[in-house]
Amino acid sequence: MKFSLLAATFLLFSVSVYATVDDSLSFAYEAASPYVKQGFTMREDAWGGDLGVGDRKAVTAQLFWGNEYWFLLASNTKQAQLTVHIYDSEGKLADSESWQKGSVAAVRINCKKTGTYYAIVQIVRSPEDRTSWALVYGYH
């Protein structure tokens, strides 16, 4: 009996974590819609998870010279403040433009050379102990 109660609690928690990441992913794609209208193609690659306030997560992406990219980070926690910045393989900031509004943040990069780049996502402020997030990107 104790085992099945524990298993049910774990399953319920696991499902709710995935649901919030899925919600965050929906918000990230919604934030990308103006860029899709401008001709950006959204990649199928997407990342997500949950972080505490002040925590950071590095996500790698292979970017190509001559392309312009938008990375969009979102959370389903309405009062969360997020940031995302892009660094090249040498650790230099590569952002061309960035913005943050509500629980969505975005950064644009004009890729100067082909290589591995790092998107650093951070939860700056949140009313929750752990805040779900999702990151998507597109190119032009």
CATH number of the domain to which 72 belongs: 2.60.120.380
What pTM did the predictor assign? 0.84
Q: Of 117, 64, 108, which is closest to residue 88 (Cα–Cα)?
A: 117
What pLDDT does 87 receive?
98
Report how many domains make up the chain: 1
Sign of the dihedral through C-alpha 137, 97, 84, 16:
negative
Q: Which two tokens stand for residue 16?
A: 């709710």
| Digit-coded pLDDT (tens) for 62-114 | 999 999 999 999 999 989 999 999 999 999 999 999 999 999 999 999 999 99
What pLDDT band is residue 27 in, cutting at 50, 70 and 90? very high
Residue indicated by tokens 């899925």? 22
d(CA 16, CA 12): 6
Average pLDDT of the chain? Answer: 88
Domain region containing 130 = 2-139
